[in-house]
Structure 1
């Protein structure tokens, strides 16, 4: 499984246009290997949108980028709605608990994403801690989650929650 983490900086006056343009990406559901997508506005940085897109594998994502991305992007007029974009691809290394995050992409009410940069000498230990955390099972209110990594010692932890209160109880 592949997780694509997209962050866009959007001026306050363009937030509505950005959200409307996001609807154009509904065409993704017809792309081979596309599993689901969820996103929203960053609570800590209100002019930053985050979108987590989940794909079967890298090959399916590459085919989409070569054959369908540009047409969907042009039709949505998304490019005129943000000032900056960053896109990172993470290969899934483990789920949190026994439930696959792909089962809940369309059911989550709150998406929490954390990014980590880990020194090379600490990568093996960090990955073991992630796997151990994933094997401990679900936290009440968490629907699912997944950990992913990139080649440059960067990691992503994504979790989907049934509501904001469930996540806040754990955060507190």
Structure 2
């Protein structure tokens, strides 16, 4: 699975226009290989939009870019609504199991997103991946309201990861952070393996949710 992460910086005066233009991506639902798309405003920066799209294969995404993408952009007028855009691509390494069995249910039910982007030390990539599989995944799976997610690696930078999880609510995510996260952090001890960490969280905008048909 391919994950496309899109981060847009928006001026306050154009926030409503960006919101409306983002709704134009609903036509993605009919595109072959498309699995779903979610997004919202960064809880730490309400003028930053965070959008995540999921595709079955790189080839199907490439066909979409060649045949469909530009038409949606032109119709939406979105290019005039943001100050900057950052696009990055990740290839799934591990599924993060949760309450939902597949990506379609994940997209349909997720209301709160947590994304972290750890940069692992080159020599620690495998150990960091093992900790995700053996410590973080089982621990998160036991958390109330955790719907699932993906652990993926950047297509451009082999030691840059994306850990993306979906939650039924912000309260469920907060409960995980208070009740389970500290013990998981202690066990996994990511400080020994990671040289940098960024990320974002957002409440899902219902108008931006696109489910595959």
Aligned to 1:155: 161
Q: Deviations 1:31-88 (Å, cap 9, x if unpaired)? A: 1100100000000111110001011111111111111111111111110010110111
- Which consecutive residues of structure 1, in runs of 5 or more, have no partner in the other structure? none
Aligned to 2:195: none
Aligned to 1:76: 76
> Which portions of structure 1, spanning 4 or more consecutive aligned residues, are displaced by more than 4 angstroms?
none
Task: Kindly indicate whether the alpha-carbon contact (under 8 Å) linking 2:36 and 2:103 is maintained by their aligned counterparts in 1.
Answer: no
Normalising by structure 1, we get a TM-score of 0.94
Aligned to 2:148: 144
Aligned to 1:103: 105
Q: Deviations 1:114-162 (Å, cap 9, x if unpaired)? A: 1111121111111111122224534211111111101411110111110
Query: Whole-Å Cα distance in 1 between the matches of residues 37 and 89 of structure 2?
Result: 14
Greater shift in the superposed pair: 39-48 or 115-124: 115-124
**Relative contact order, higher structure (CA 8 A, sep 6+):** 2
Of Structure 1 and Structure 2, the greater helix share is in 2
Deviation for aligned residue 1:12? 1.1
Q: How does 1:1-172 map to 2 (within 5 A)?
A: 1-97=1-97, 99-132=101-134, 133-136=136-139, 137-151=141-155, 152=157, 153-172=159-178
- Report the aligned-residue RMSD: 1.4
How many aligned positions are there? 172
- Which consecutive residues of structure 2, in runs of 5 or more, have no partner in the other structure? 179-213
Query: Whole-Å Cα distance in 2 between the matches of residues 74 and 55 of structure 1?
Result: 22
- Larger gyration radius, structure 1 or structure 2: 2
